Amino acid sequence: MKKILSLTLILLFLATFSAMAEGQNEKLPYQELIDKGLLYKEAWNNQGEWEIAEGRVMEVAYHPSLRLDNDRIIAVAGDKKYGRLYDLTERYKVSDYYLSLYKPDTQEFWDREAKIGRAAANGLITINGVNWQESKYKDMILKGTFGRWPMLNDPAYLKYMLDPKYNGMTNKYIYFCDGVDLYLNSDRMDVRYELKETKKKLPIKVFSDGGNSMIPLRGVLEELGAVIDYNSKTKEITINDKGHTVVLKQGSNIAKVDGVVKKMPKPVYTVNGYTVIPLRFVSENLDHWVGFFPEDGNRIAILRAKQGPPTR
């Protein structure tokens, strides 16, 4: 027990000493935030890394003291409750080797920061006190993020990364997994969108036809963001979503996907006056992930995204 207490005291001393040394060697632009207790050091923090007081992240992220007009880069990442300030310039001063790597105008630099997790688009809030989306490094930050997590380069996730109104909440929106849940042999539909879940009812039940889940044309795809048009003369159905176009025809199992002819497992047909289509074929060709969970009441999950978010 004495050894554990001694080790704890040593770690606390080192953290305090490191914070004092970092503040004394140079007048830090965010010294005011340190003095107010909004920034503090823990034993695990590296040079240039500061924990932000709980619930004060957005206040720190947009603080005027961070709005610098020089080459120093100060990033704030996290959510509205917990976050960190990364003084990247200070971090790279730790040794001559690291200083030689400090080349923020290169893609290699931002690839490294995204890989480490200090500056990835899904967690960043600000660069130098302004929305990171307004930073001159925006495109390199995005490219670095997609290099680490390719699945995030999807309209369903980009929406939350590119719009500054989601800063501080980006990951929460991403991991909510916008989409719909259907249930085989049921007309129940649960819609997830922008942190809200709504229960709705389909005009007919989802059913299986030879192992293929069939869904009503209207009601499901629109909730995923698709726009549907029906030509009564040609009996053609055009579905536009995420830059893709799928053209179907009543009574036919032939589809055109972005102009390419493909064969569907089942034709388009009518049940009780409602047009039904094969769920998996249409959804996946519109870049939506589909999963079937028989252990969960035969739930069929369809995401707005092509893939689920990164594993945490």
Does the structure show a pLDDT above 50 at 180?
yes
Q: What pLDDT, on the 0 to 100 scale, is given for residue 259?
A: 96
Question: Could you tell me which residues come within 8 angstroms of residue 265 by beta carbon, excluding any fewer than 6 positions away?
Answer: 210, 212, 253, 278, 281
Over residues 44-87, the pLDDT tens digits come to: 999 999 999 999 999 999 999 999 888 899 999 999 999 999 99
Element (H, E) at 145: helix 138-148
Q: What pLDDT, on the 0 to 100 scale, is given for residue 12?
A: 42
Over residues 84-105, the pLDDT tens digits come to: 999 999 999 988 999 999 999 9
Question: Of 140-144, 214-218, 276-280, which has the strongest mean pLDDT?
Answer: 140-144
pLDDT, average across residues 22-30 = 70
Question: Could you tell me which residues come within 8 angstroms of residue 123 by beta carbon, excluding any fewer than 6 positions away?
Answer: 77, 78, 117, 170, 171
pLDDT, average across residues 128-148 = 97
Q: What pLDDT, on the 0 to 100 scale, is given for residue 311?
A: 85
A 10 A CB-CB count for 219 gives 18
pLDDT, average across residues 144-164 = 97
Asked whether 40 and 19 are in contact (CB, 8 A), the reply is: yes
Phi then psi for 55, rounded to 5 degrees? 80, 5
pLDDT band at 26 (very low <50, low <70, confident <90, very high): low
Q: What pLDDT, on the 0 to 100 scale, is given for residue 15?
A: 44
Please choose, from the candidates 205, 213, 187, 229, the residue with its C-alpha nearest in 3D space to the C-alpha of residue 265: 213
CATH architecture of 179-303: 2-Layer Sandwich (3.30)
pLDDT band at 25 (very low <50, low <70, confident <90, very high): low
Q: What pLDDT, on the 0 to 100 scale, is given for residue 249?
A: 95
Over residues 255-302, the pLDDT tens digits come to: 999 999 999 999 999 999 999 999 999 999 999 999 999 999 999 999
What residue ranges do the domains of the chain occupy? 2-174, 179-303
pLDDT band at 225 (very low <50, low <70, confident <90, very high): very high
Q: What pLDDT, on the 0 to 100 scale, is given for residue 6?
A: 52
Does the structure show a pLDDT above 70 at 20?
no
pLDDT band at 27 (very low <50, low <70, confident <90, very high): confident
Q: What percent of the chain has pLDDT over 70?
A: 91
More confident residue, 15 or 266: 266
pLDDT, average across residues 243-265 = 96
Beta bridge partners of 127: 75, 130
